[in-house]
Structure 1
Amino acid sequence: MKCGYSQENWQQLETDIRSCHLPVDVDFIKETAYGIRSEISAELSTPMGRQLLVRTVWQIDTGTDFPRLITLIPD
């Protein structure tokens, strides 16, 4: 919330993740029992104008072909 995100504007966080994280190179890829997991560390441009370094964790579940966001944590 300190960066300008809230439950009411979660779509902004989704948009910011897609524009700031998906274009950069993946830092780490690991195969798990549930699928292929990857991590991306990059800055996120927030609605408050701050640059926040965060790590996102994505997984392509076994049997699917698209990544889903597992978590976002400060890096």
Structure 2
Amino acid sequence: MKTIFVQFKCRPGMAYQVADELVLEVQEISEVFSTSGHYDLIAKFYLADDQDIGRFVTERLQVLEGVADTFTLVAFKAFT
């Protein structure tokens, strides 16, 4: 399993709609939060080891209505 975090810049007034769409339509999502700063949302996803991160982000996330830009981070290790 691979863990990625994706930050979303949304079109004005669309952040809540994008968050709802992520939760309802993207089964790989774990959590989504609203944020302040350059991006409106950050979401955590778990992908299968053989799943292509680039294709997942460009074909499943960037095409959602209201998404203006994304920034992807790959996580290597979780500390507890």
Q: Taking structure 1 as the reference length, what is the TM-score of the superposition?
A: 0.32
Q: Which has the higher contact order (CA 8 A, sep 6+)?
A: 2
Greater radius of gyration (CA)? 1
Higher-strand-fraction structure: 1
Higher-helix-fraction structure: 2
